[in-house]
Structure 1
Amino acid sequence: MSLPSVSALRGGPRPSFSIRQRRELDPMQALRRVLLPQQEPLFNPALSSTYRNVTCSASACDQLTGSDCSGTTCLYAVSYGDGSSTVGFLATDTFTLTSRNVFKNFIFGCGQNNQGLFGRAAGLIGLGRSRYSLTSQVASRLGNIFSYCLPSTSSSTGFLNVGKPLASAVRYTPLLTDSRAPAFYFIDLIGITVGGTKLPVGTRLELSPTVFQSVGTIIDSGTVITRLPPAAYSALRTAFRAAMTQYPLAPAASILDTCYDFRNSATLTYPVIKLLYTNLEVTLPATGVFYVISSAQVCLAFAGNSDSSQIGIIGNVQQRTFEVTHDNIANRIGFSAGACS
């Protein structure tokens, strides 16, 4: 299960970066002690006349969560929920988005020891609400608004746009904050429909919004599969399986426990799934409903959290082909369908 990636330019050749919304820093792989393969040449600080390591006495080091020191040089250490991690030097350099948008003294992490699920990307772009994410550092010039469209396949093309959304018809729902995770983007998920029917739980006619609202839901491009509260996922799975009895079940795949074998199916009919937010309904295309491992193993792209106290997550499968706009000025998140394929 891979992360979406984009191309960007930082004082040299155009590398590709995976997108993570949650992090407060943009780490990229440098030459020393790198444990992960990547497609582009490794970033070599010695070839950049504007590269500088941040000192331990600098305010940037003091303000970064998880910073440490090696002599007078500031170090960072970041761990992700999927077990990936990166450790290296906190640094500054000139960051170029376009010829007109050049940012001097851009703060980022120059990774020396990177491990985990980074794919072959040169690094990660942080899009969170924290001080040193890419979007926060360019907000003074470009505005604190960004949008992206994640393509449905690795061979298709999406985009990351900093500034006003590209789509003209964008529908919005409020962007929420939560003191448990202030750098995250919380969204008010209040219900789900399957085949036009709102999900029930137990003997209730409808799934109460409090099932979602009591723990909160974040939207995150760095998580692949959407995670729901156990009661909500159980109701979704039951309703979906009841509508898919004409297809043979396939073995489960990791956290995906509702999978089908479509090898002998010339056509596919499935129940439409809608995610219901405050003031907004999002109808998922097939690419937002299924996670394809092979034609013999196509799985419902949702999973349940292990307990009812865990925060829900809208993962990137359910965001694919939408332009998803994060408007941190008006505190809202918008969706525009069919922005990429």
Structure 2
Amino acid sequence: MKRDAKRVAYLMNHMEQVDFVGEVVSGVNEGVGEYIIPIEIGSPPIAQHVIMDTGSDLIWVQCQKCQQCHSQFDPIFDPARSSSYTEIPCESSACDRLNGKQDCDREGSCTYRASYADVSESKGTLVFETIVFGDVRILNMAIGCGYMNKGTFGHQAGIMGLGAGPLSLVYEIPVGGFFSYCLPSRDSQVSGSLVIGKEAISTGSVWVPLLSSIKNPSLYYVRMIGLGVGGIRLPISEDIFHLTESGDGGVIIDSGTTVSRFPKVAYEAFRDAFIAQTMDIPRAPGVDLFDTCFNLPNTIDMPLVSFHFWSDIGEVSLVIPPRNFLVVVDNMRTACFAFAPSPASFSIIGNI
């Protein structure tokens, strides 16, 4: 408990006014559709690249002596070489913040299990460790040290959870829960950014309130009210996107999902409207989950699409250019409409 008290005191005294600005890069060149954040872990610090994920809470990396590890580009973190590594005991408040998922190993250390929608997972020990994010060094951060990791992590060291739960980086440090991210285009060589702190509040932006679900309190929801193609809002019922009081349905913002998905009725209306405005463009066979693809010439005008939301000032829209939703899938310039039907009643706005 003394360790917990020291941790809180340090954070409050030294970091209350600090903003965190880190680099975000596209994972396309590294074989993943997600976005990657470079961080450093341990003392001395070791470079690790992790997937940015607003749909989960915990930060974790693979650790040496793991029983099951996926292949990664960075050296696997070795706790034995870090002087700041400390395993968290089960009676710690940090272990309590695992939302009932904690367990204890034989030595009384807190263990975790992080599961993801694609059946990927990580199991290991919850530890206090030093991490460097941007130019800021954070002491005694509660992170996962993964010893059994399986799934689609694309050769990255682990996950940076930015969800709304208590072990998220956003809420573990006292910056008021503010954060923003700017994602570069998928094929861009330019970096984007992740900003945590009051600097994340930009002027001149249009704000859409976040909603919460009693079923999934760690996820970020927004009130979407419609979809549009070519400047025309489609006649899709707002009820399709509604988050119910019981926590069903709704629209999730998730940086860890690549392809945006909408319930079947909404998706088909969206797709069909796009096809109707592109009848003069040669079609190509579907690829994987993309059912609408084209043989694109070198230059051609394609219709814009739009997402419509409800905000405190009324209806607002996000207009998306073709380069951000048409994905070239081969060297023959086959490009696909990068949306898909949702397998459930909820929608997901992903990172494309």
Q: 2:61 aligns with which of 28, 31, 53?
A: 28
Please report the TM-score for the alignment, with normalisation by the length of structure 1. Answer: 0.84
What is the Cα deviation at residue 143 of structure 1?
3.0
What is the Cα deviation at residue 57 of structure 1?
2.6
Q: 1:302 aligns with which of 318, 321, 339?
A: 339
Match for residue 78 of structure 2? 44
Which of 19-28 and 5-14 deviates more? 5-14
Q: Secondary structure, in 3 states, of the residue corresponding to 2:207?
A: strand
What is the Cα deviation at residue 296 of structure 1?
4.0
Q: Structure 1 CA distance, aligned partners of 2:323 and 2:158?
A: 26
Q: Structure 2 CA distance, aligned partners of 1:98 and 1:236?
A: 39
Report if the CA contact (8 A) 2:63-2:78 is conserved.
yes
Q: Structure 1 CA distance, aligned partners of 2:343 and 2:154?
A: 27
Q: 1:240 aligns with which of 269, 274, 285?
A: 274
What is the Cα deviation at residue 225 of structure 1?
0.6
Q: Secondary structure, in 3 states, of the residue corresponding to 2:41?
A: coil
Q: Structure 2 CA distance, aligned partners of 1:161 and 1:250?
A: 40
Amino acid at match of 1:17: V
Which of 172-181 and 280-289 deviates more? 280-289
Match for residue 103 of structure 1? 138
Q: Secondary structure, in 3 states, of the residue corresponding to 1:120?
A: coil
Report if the CA contact (8 A) 2:39-2:134 is conserved.
no
Match for residue 123 of structure 2? 87
Q: Structure 2 CA distance, aligned partners of 1:84 and 1:52?
A: 26
Q: 2:209 aligns with which of 174, 180, 190?
A: 174
What is the Cα deviation at residue 167 of structure 1?
4.8
Match for residue 33 of structure 2? 2
Please report the TM-score for the alignment, with normalisation by the length of structure 2. Answer: 0.82
Matches within 5 A, 1:228-307: 228-262=262-296, 265-279=297-311, 280-294=316-330, 295-307=332-344
Q: Structure 1 CA distance, aligned partners of 2:146 and 2:53?
A: 16
Q: Structure 2 CA distance, aligned partners of 1:292 and 1:166?
A: 34
What is the Cα deviation at residue 128 of structure 1?
0.4
Amino acid at match of 1:273: V
Q: 2:182 aligns with which of 128, 149, 163?
A: 149
Q: Secondary structure, in 3 states, of the residue corresponding to 1:239?
A: helix
Report if the CA contact (8 A) 1:291-1:299 is conserved.
yes
Match for residue 158 of structure 1? 192
Does residue 170 of structure 2 align to residue 135 of structure 1?
A: yes
What is the Cα deviation at residue 286 of structure 1?
2.0
Matches within 5 A, 1:187-266: 187-199=222-234, 206-213=235-242, 215-262=249-296, 265-266=297-298
**1:189-242 C-alpha deviation (Å, 9 max, x unpaired):** 10111011111xxxxxx2221121152101110001111011110101110111
Amino acid at match of 1:297: T
Structure 2 residue runs of 5 or longer lacking an equivalent are: 1-31, 244-248
Runs of 4+ that moved beyond 6 A:
none
Q: Percent identity among equivalent residues?
A: 33
Report if the CA contact (8 A) 2:303-2:322 is conserved.
no
What is the Cα deviation at residue 287 of structure 1?
2.9
What is the Cα deviation at residue 51 of structure 1?
0.6
**1:250-284 C-alpha deviation (Å, 9 max, x unpaired):** 2222221111122xx13122111011011321010
What is the Cα deviation at residue 103 of structure 1?
2.8
Does residue 110 of structure 2 align to residue 78 of structure 1?
A: no
Does residue 147 of structure 2 align to residue 112 of structure 1?
A: yes
Q: Structure 2 CA distance, aligned partners of 1:172 and 1:166?
A: 10
Structure 1 residue runs of 5 or longer lacking an equivalent are: 200-205, 318-341
Q: Structure 2 CA distance, aligned partners of 1:251 and 1:167?
A: 42
Aligned Cα root-mean-square deviation (Å):
1.8
